[in-house]
Amino acid sequence: MVKKDHILTFKKSHNHKPTSKWQCGNANKSCLQGPDNRGNCPSSSKCQPRRRARTKIASAALWTTLFTLGAILIVFSNQHWLSLLSPGPLSSSHAHIENCATCHSAFNDEKIDWFAAATHASIEENDTKLCLKCHALGNTPTNPHNLANKQLLAISANAQLSELTNGSINQRFAKANLDSTQNEHSCNTCHNEHNRFENLTSTTDQQCVVCHKAQFTSFSTDHPEFKQYPFNRRTRIQFDHTSHISKHFTDKDYSDLAPTGCQQCHLPDSKGENMIVRGFDKSCASCHLDEIVGTNRATEKGLTIFTIPGLDLETLADNNITIGEWPEDAEDEVTPFMALWLKQMPGMTLTLKELKGIDLLDLSEASQKELLHVQALATSVKSIIYDLRMHGADGFIKHIKASTNINSTDTMHLVGMLPPSLIKQWQRQWFPSMMKESTTTNVTSSYLDTSQNISKEKRALIEDNDSIDLTSAATDDDSWFDNILTDSESEDESIDEIDSEHEAEVEWSSEDKAMAGGWYQDEFTLRYRPSGHHDQFLKSWMSLSSSIGNSEMNDLLTALRDENSPGVCSKCHSADISKQGSLVVNWQGNQRDMNQHDFTQFSHLAHFSLPNKLSCTSCHQLNTEAEYEKGFNDNKSSTFSSNFNNIKQEKCSSCHNEDQANEQCLTCHNYHIGNQSFMAMPDELTKEK
Amino acid sequence: MTLKIRLFFNLLLTAFAIGVFASLYSSLDISLNNTSEFSGWVLFASTFFLFLYQLKKRFTFLPLGKSSTWLQSHLYGGLFSSYVFFEHIHWQVPQGLFEISLGITFFMTALTGIFGISLSRRLSYKLSQLDDEIIFETIPERLTVLREQEESVIVNATEEASSNTLAQFHVNQLSDFFDGPKYFWRHLTNTGKTTPLDALKEQERYMNETELKHAKKLRKIILQKEKVDAHHALQLTLKNWLLIHVPLAYTTILLLLPHITIVYAFGGA
């Protein structure tokens, strides 16, 4: 039984009232009156009243409040101390940023305006714009996956619809709670800087799934089956694995050269993701180089660039159509290269159109009008030869530039170091009187006169040289062109005879002499023989003709991509129809653009670290039934039949499951899709705070 | 309603509130909403509610319900807001000096609150085990009375017994013992060294009959002093833990304001 305190109670003394702030400090004998509210003793000046506990607490709270307020004011008023407000260090990706205003639009405002900024709804939008100053995420950066609404709708339409499976009640609630009208997200929806919480890019699987129509709980249990993974288009390089492995590599003629494993031809790219082909030299050259340079080729080894078309000279003469000097035995047709040039000349488009389908070697049934077109054609061909003779490669370059609007570097590749001496030899062999003709006939057409900046004196000089003595042609102010013309001419007459005798002994044709590649003359034609793989002349012409895509260029491209065309480029290098309708030649295999992010990513390199568990064929199994070659019959990359079977989801989930390797969405999928380049670093980044 | 039923009911209610909050938080997190904003405002609201208890104590004249109900709400509201706090900081140590300061003040406020509750429960029980009820403010006077009684016994004993054994004991031990409240930690924790009572017992073998008679009176006075000391230690602790808890609560409330401003002004990136 607790005894009540009867000695003194608050009922008997003001001194002990619990509501009073002070209590008597006189322990010997407290008075009934007690101290006043200010802590003064009314009866004795010696008595020192004491604070009650609650007064002490109130006093401590007051002083703490004042101290805290002071500290806040000091921090906010000192520019150098603002860093104390930072919620932590930046992640390593952003550690170089020193100026808070680089990312925070409100930072440069007055401190008092921070309170106003805190209430602005646009603060997230403004700060997101600052993020996008460095991170280029396309035209719709705040859209889901950075995709345009149209693309999102298309993806949604194709999605496999399913009900939420074993999702938790929170998942179901979240799905119901998802604001379907909110189609845009600021960067900080997923990315928390200043090392707050998890890492900068952490996102949970549930967060990924919540927006998707196809709902599932984990990769290993109910992830939708892969569709044609990993092939979404045909290969760019036409290489039939099945026929090579089962037929060519076992052929006794090639078995010594055949690779012994996948890694001899394939290696991971710099990020370790895609497997790229080691390149022609290491993977293909041992068997296919001869095919390109034409060593074993039965037909002509070079591509016919210029030729003297064969004409029915007799019929022309009978009809009094004069074309001047023309070789009787010429029998070739106008090449696509020449057609391209001819169409630059006035009236020649019509001429070529009129003569289309007519056998120029038999003009017996041709009309007078057609014969006149033949005459125009012959004159124009002579103009080309004349132009080449007068200006060498320069004439060719001017023509290419006039018709294509391409730059100088590209045109250099397009002429393939055409030697002036070869043109001269060609012209002198078949049109020895061309220079004389040019003064009496209209061979030097207005096209030549206007397009070539050559003086009358110089032309006269060349004309004289051709007909009389070429050794005296050089003049003091001649350009390289003149030197080329003259350097060999001085000795031509005497040396030609010796050369002919020597050639007869060795019996090598001009084509064989050009085995290292380049230009050579073969009777009435000037041909170009590929110098090997990656021949710039053929590659440049194919790229140019495919990119321009007009009718003349298409004819040219068709000729270049003919399966029997020298170089056989199209045997391996497929072409795709672009969105604009033109053909794009695939010069390289699948080359990953490091800025390009697709929905799915796979690191081959990471899987190589599993010794004795996986090999290439664990996942990539040959589909011997596939009609791989048929996929290249058209130029659509989407119609194909892969050499390899599609990879099934169960192959991945055998390791990527709850018990073994992780199965998070972001292990295989990217959120940001499209081309994401890092833009120029803003100046503010390097400025002081 | 017994204490156990009340405890069970209140804990159940708190657990339910935490469950609702956790469920909402999780679903908002999954649906890519700003969970920090959600947990932040819930934390601010609950903290402000806790702070209202302080105001309620200040304005006792206002008809705001029973103080005991407020205290119960304060206790379990504190538990709830502690959970919200840890969820708000993602169960990780905050970074940056300001955020660390805010985190520490909130955490320490909660910790001293829990410590205070623990003390209130334990020390109140200990107080109830003491026979007498003593008002804290009367302790100095009580001590004065006891000291005077002790001195009187010593003087009488010395005069009557013609021996200075008790006087010597007074000089060596009791003078300091009766000088003010002693043995604070021993009374608070029930652990400690020998008491003056034990020392007196040891001295009794040197006393004559007269001294022993006075020693008996002295024993009663020492026992009274021990009780007053126990009251002092227990009541002082019960009153003064708030000296830490309340100022920390004020600091937390003050730091919340710039925190909210900074978060909204700079939270867009």
Closest CA to A455 of A423, A478, A480: A478
Mean pLDDT lowest for which of A361-375, A377-391, A539-553, B246-260? Answer: A539-553
Range 28-57 of B in CB contact (< 8 A) with A: 28-34
CB within 8 Å of A411: residues ≥ 6 apart: A397, A400, A401
Closest chain A residue by Cα to residue B247: A61
**Omega of the bond prior to A230 within 30 degrees of 0, cis?**
yes
Same domain, A433 and A344: yes
Which of A657, A659, A602 has the alpha carbon at shortest distance from A219?
A: A657
Does the structure show a pLDDT above 50 at A447? no
Cβ-contact A79, A101 below 8 angstroms? no
Quick one: A214 and A323 in the same domain?
no
Interchain pair B251, A64: CB under 8 A: yes
Q: What's the pLDDT tens digit per position in A136-168?
A: 888 888 898 998 888 888 887 776 555 555 556
Residues A329 and A431 in one domain: yes
Residue of B nearest to A110 (CA): B265
CA B139/CA B235 separation, integer angstroms? 10
0.90 cut: is pTM over it? no
Reported confidence tier of residue A524, pLDDT bands at 50, 70, 90: very high
Contact A117 B267 (CB under 8 A): no
Show the CA angle centred on residue B145, arms to residues B144 and B147, nearest 5°. Answer: 65
Determine the Cα–Cα distance for residues A547 and A342; give it in Å rounded to an integer: 20
Q: Residue A378: CB partners within 8 Å, gap ≥ 6?
A: A309, A311, A323, A324, A326
Q: How many helices (H) and strands (E) does chain B have?
A: 11, 0
Question: Which one has a higher pLDDT value, A513 or A561?
Answer: A561
A131-135, A485-489, A512-516: segment of lowest average pLDDT = A485-489
Q: What is the nearest CA distance from B252 to chain A, expressed in angstroms?
A: 9
Enumerate helices (H) and strands (E) in chain A, giving the number of each: 30, 11
Q: Are strands A50-51 and A22-23 parallel, antiparallel or unpaired?
A: antiparallel
Residue A32 sits at the chain B interface (C-beta within 8 Å): no
- Residue A381 sits in the same domain as residue A468: yes
Q: How far, in Å, CA of A535 to CA of A530, rounded?
A: 6
| Placement of tokens 């639009």 in the chain | A105
Task: Supply the pLDDT for residue B222.
Answer: 92
Residues contacting A625, CB < 8 A, separation 6+: none
Vertex A652: Cα angle to A648 and A653 (nearest 5): 105
pLDDT tens digits along A15-47: 566 677 787 777 666 666 777 777 777 776 677
- The DSSP letter of residue A274 is S
Residue A232 pLDDT more than 90?
A: no
Interaxial angle between packed helices B97-129 and B67-88, expressed in degrees from 0 to 180 and rounded to the nearest 10: 140
B192 touching A, CB under 8 A? no
How close does chain A come to B31, measured CA to CA in Å?
5
Asked if A447 and A528 sit in the same domain, the reply is yes
Task: Quote the pLDDT of residue A36.
Answer: 77
- Residue A161: per-residue pLDDT: 52
Cis peptide before A49 (omega within 30 of 0): no
Distance, CA of A673 to CA of A276 (rounded, Å)? 22
Instruction: State which of A518, A541, A564 marks the end of a domain.
Output: A541
A194 touches A89 (CB < 8 A): yes
Residue A169 belongs to domain spanning = 86-225+648-689
- Neighbour-count burial of B253, counting CB atoms closer than 10 A to its CB (0-12 exposed, 13-18 middle, 19+ buried): buried
The tokens for B206 are: 């040197």
Percent helix, strand, coil in chain B (nearest 5)? 80, 0, 20
Amino acid, res. A11: K
Give the pLDDT confidence of A660-676 residue by residue, as tens digits.
Answer: 888 999 999 999 998 87
Q: DSSP letter at B40?
A: H
**Per-residue pLDDT, A502:** 57
Token output for A195: 């090392």
**A200, pLDDT greater than 70:** yes
Q: Averaged over A608-635, what is the pLDDT? A: 86
> Which runs of consecutive H residues, i.e. helices, occur in A452-506?
456-467, 480-487, 489-506
What pLDDT, on a 0 to 100 scale, did the predictor assign at position A507?
59
**Nearest-CA neighbor of A465 among A474, A476, A453, A455?**
A474
A75 in a domain, yes or no? no
Q: How far is CA A360 from CA A308, A377, B70, in A?
A: 12, 10, 112
Highest mean pLDDT among A63-72, A486-495, B128-137: A63-72
Number of CB atoms found within 10 A of residue A680's CB = 8
Q: How many residues does chain A have?
A: 689
Same-domain status, A218 and A300: no
Nearest beta carbon to residue B132 from set A3, A86, A103: A3
Supply A451's token pair. 């397009």
How sure is the predictor about A441, in pLDDT bands with cuts at 50, 70 and 90? low
Q: What total of structural domains would you count in chain A?
A: 2
- Partners of residue A59 in chain B, C-beta under 8 Å: none
Query: pLDDT higher for A673 or B269?
Result: A673
Is residue A570 situated within a structural domain?
no
Q: In degrees rounded to 5, what are phi and psi of residue A299?
A: -85, -170
- Which residue is listed with tokens 């095919």? A291
Tell if the CB–CB gap between B264 and A64 is shorter than 8 Å: no
Binned at pLDDT 50, 70 and 90, residue A178 comes out as low
- Nearest residue to A416 (alpha-carbon basis) of A544, A584, A261: A544
DSSP A150: H
pLDDT computed for residue A483 by the predictor: 40
Structure confidence at residue A150 (pLDDT): 87
* Nearest CA-CA partner of B47 in B10, B7, B88, B97: B88
pLDDT of residue A11: 56
B185 has pLDDT over 60: yes
Q: Categorise residue A583: left if φ over 0, alpha if ψ from -120 to 50, beta otherwise.
A: beta
Under a CB-based contact definition with an 8 Å cutoff, are residues B119 and B245 in contact? no
State the greatest distance between any 2 C-alpha atoms of chain A, in Å, as a whole number.
Answer: 155
Q: Is there a contact between A581 and A549 (Cβ–Cβ < 8 Å)?
A: yes
Please check the confidence at residue A274 and state whether its pLDDT lies above 80: yes
Separation between Cα atoms, residue A31 and residue A14, nearest integer Å = 9
Q: Which residues from chain A sit within 8 angstroms of residue B242, using beta carbons?
A: 53, 57
- Chain A residue with the nearest C-alpha to that of B55: A58
Task: Tell me: do A172 and A299 sit in the same domain.
Answer: no
A105 half-sphere exposure, CB direction, 13 A CA radius: 21
pLDDT at A304 over 90: yes
**Under DSSP, is residue A185 helix (H, G, I), strand (E, B) or coil?**
coil
Report the residue from A65, A88, A186 with minimal CB separation from B96.
A88
List A residues 114-173 in contact with B (Cβ-Cβ < 8 A). Answer: 114-115, 117-119, 123-128, 130-131, 169-171, 173
pLDDT at A382: 92
Residue A518 located in a structural domain: yes
Residue A461 confidence (pLDDT): 43
- Determine the average pLDDT of the residues in A184-198: 80
Residues A478 and A357 both lie in one domain: yes
Q: Tell me which chain B residue has its CA closest to the CA of residue A76.
A: B258
* Nearest C-alpha in B relative to A22: B137
Highest mean pLDDT among A98-112, A174-188, A309-323, A440-454: A309-323
Collect all residues of chain B within an 8 Å Cβ-Cβ radius of residue A130: 269
**Cα–Cα distance measured from residue B29 to residue B35, given in angstroms and rounded to the nearest whole number:** 6
**Each residue's pLDDT tens digit, A281-300:** 999 999 999 889 888 887 88
Residue A463 pLDDT exceeds 50: no
pLDDT of residue A479: 39
Enter the tokens of residue A623. 């589909």
Tell me the shortest Cα–Cα distance from B117 to chain A, in angstroms.
17
pLDDT at A210: 82
Residue A299 tokens, joined: 């037909």
* Chain segment A118-139, per-residue pLDDT in tens: 777 788 888 999 998 888 888 8
Q: Which residue has the higher pLDDT, A587 or A548?
A: A587
β-bridge mates for residue A237, sequence order: A573
- Residue A106: pLDDT band (50, 70, 90) is confident
pLDDT value of position B139: 87
What is the structure's pLDDT at A488? 44
What confidence tens digit (pLDDT) does each residue in B52-95 have? 998 888 787 788 888 889 999 999 999 999 999 999 998 989 88
Percent of chain A with pLDDT over 70: 79
pLDDT at A611: 65
Are A60 and B248 in contact (CB < 8 Å)? Answer: no
Q: What is the length of chain B?
A: 269
pLDDT digits (tens, 9 = 90+) for B236-260: 999 889 999 999 999 999 999 999 9
- DSSP string covering A511-526, please? HHHTTTSEEEEETTEE
CA distance A210 to A213: 8
Within-domain flag for A100: yes
Residue A397 contacts residue A481 (beta carbons within 8 Å): no
Q: What's the number of CA atoms in the CB half-sphere (13 Å) around residue B126?
A: 21
Taking alpha carbons only, the member of B199, B193, B192 closest to residue B170 is B199
Quick one: A535 and A658 in the same domain? no
Does residue A199 sit in the same domain as residue A308?
A: no
What number of other Cβ atoms are within 10 A of residue A683's Cβ? 9
The token duo for B59 is: 């304005």
Q: Is residue A409 part of a domain?
A: yes
pLDDT(B132) > 70? yes
Confidence band, pLDDT 50/70/90 cuts, at residue A3: low
DSSP letter assigned to residue A577? E
**What whole-number distance in Å separates Cα of residue A322 and Cα of residue A247?**
59
b/e per residue, A519-548, with b = 16+ CB within 10 A?
A: bbbbbbbbbbbbbebebebbbbbbbbbbbb
Inform me whether the C-beta atom of residue A61 falls under 8 Å from chain B C-beta atoms. Answer: yes
Mean pLDDT of A69-90: 85
Average pLDDT, chain A: 80
Contact between chains at A188 and B268 (C-beta distance less than 8 A) = yes
CB contact under 8 A, B29 and A204: yes
Residues A488 and A394: beta-carbon distance below 8 Å: no
**What would the pLDDT profile of B156-177 be if each residue is shown by its tens digit?**
988 888 888 889 999 988 999 9
Mutate to test the interface with A, among B24, B29, B32, B231 (most CBs of A within 10 A): B32
Name chain A contacts of B23, Cβ cutoff 8 Å: 169-170, 173
CA-nearest of A671, A689, A683 to A203 is: A671
Strand pairing partners for A656? Answer: A661
pLDDT at A613: 67
Give the Cβ contact number of residue A639 at 10 Å. 13
Q: Which of B51, B238, B220, B86 is nearest to B149 (CA)?
A: B220
- Sequence-ordered list of residues with C-beta below 8 angstroms from that of A81, at least 6 positions apart, any chain: A74, A75
Q: Work out the end-to-end distance of chain B between its first and last CA atoms, rounded to an integer number of angstroms.
A: 52
- Beta-bridge mates of residue A597: A674
A185 and A319 share a domain? no
Q: Which residue has 């089962």 as its token pair?
A: A246
Q: Do residue A329 and residue A450 come from a single domain?
A: yes
Instruction: Identify the H or E element spanning A666.
Output: helix A665-668
Q: Is A3 in contact with B133 (Cβ distance < 8 A)?
A: yes
User: HEC profile for A45-91?
Assistant: CCCCCEECHHHHHHHHHHHHHHHHHHHHHHHHHCHHHHHHHCCCCCC
pLDDT confidence bin for A474, thresholds 50/70/90: very low
Question: Cβ–Cβ of B95/A87 closer than 8 Å?
Answer: yes
pLDDT of the residue at A452: 42
Residue A60, domain member (yes or no):
no
Residue A418 lies in a domain: yes
In a domain, A135, yes or no: yes
Model confidence at A482: pLDDT above 50? no
Of B49, B35, B36, B119, which is closest to residue B81 (Cα–Cα)? B49
